[in-house]
């Protein structure tokens, strides 16, 4: 496996349900990012992990959102009590520090539809 993996690829859920997405970064990468992208917009930063520590959360990440990265490997993003406005593509990316001169690699994303 040489890329960032995300699961599931697609998720349809009813409003009010909880959903959880998983991201497996490139194995040696210690930095992991979650982004959200809606139609016609660029990816918006949600949160960042360095190893297992969550170092920044965007104000886009309401109390209904929680992300974890136990043991500094894979990460999960949970959305509780989903709303229709949560419908979006959720993208995960990883990188290796220090790397401010390099962009990072995204996974294929999880497309969430809340009905």
- Our finding on whether 50 is near another protein (CB under 8 A) is yes
- Our finding on whether 48 is near another protein (CB under 8 A) is yes
Range list of β-strands (E), the chain: 5-7, 10-13, 19-24, 31-37, 44-50, 53-57, 65-68, 75-79, 88-95, 105-106, 110-114
- Our finding on whether 52 is near another protein (CB under 8 A) is no
* Residue choice 13, 20, 66, 105 for contact with another protein (CB under 8 A): 105
| Contact in structure between 34 and 75 (CB atoms under 8 Å) | yes
- Our finding on whether 65 is near another protein (CB under 8 A) is no
Phi, psi of 9 (to 5 degrees): -80, -35
Using the rule CB under 8 A, give the single segment among 18-26, 42-50, 61-69, 72-80 that binds another protein. 42-50
Polymer length in residues for the chain: 115
* Residue choice 14, 27, 42, 63 for contact with another protein (CB under 8 A): 42
Using the rule CB under 8 A, give the single segment among 12-20, 66-74, 79-87, 103-111 that binds another protein. 103-111
Is the C-alpha dihedral spanning 7, 105, 24, 58 positive or negative? negative
Which residues make up the interface to another protein (CB under 8 A)?
Answer: 31, 33, 40-45, 48, 50, 55-56, 89, 91, 95, 97-109, 111
């Amino acid at each position: 496996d040489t890329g960032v993996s995300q699961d599931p690829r697609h998720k349809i859920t009813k409003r009010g349900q909880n959903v959880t997405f998983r991201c497996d970064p490139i194995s040696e990468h210690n930095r992991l990012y979650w982004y959200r992208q809606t139609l016609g917009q660029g990816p918006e930063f949600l949160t960042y992990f360095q190893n297992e520590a969550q170092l920044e959360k965007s104000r886009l990440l309401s109390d209904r959102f929680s992300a974890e990265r136990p043991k500094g490997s894979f990460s999960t993003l949970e959305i509780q009590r989903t709303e229709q406005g949560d419908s979006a593509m959720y993208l995960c990316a990883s990188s290796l520090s220090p790397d401010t001169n390099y962009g990072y690699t995204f996974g294929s994303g999880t497309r969430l539809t809340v009905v």
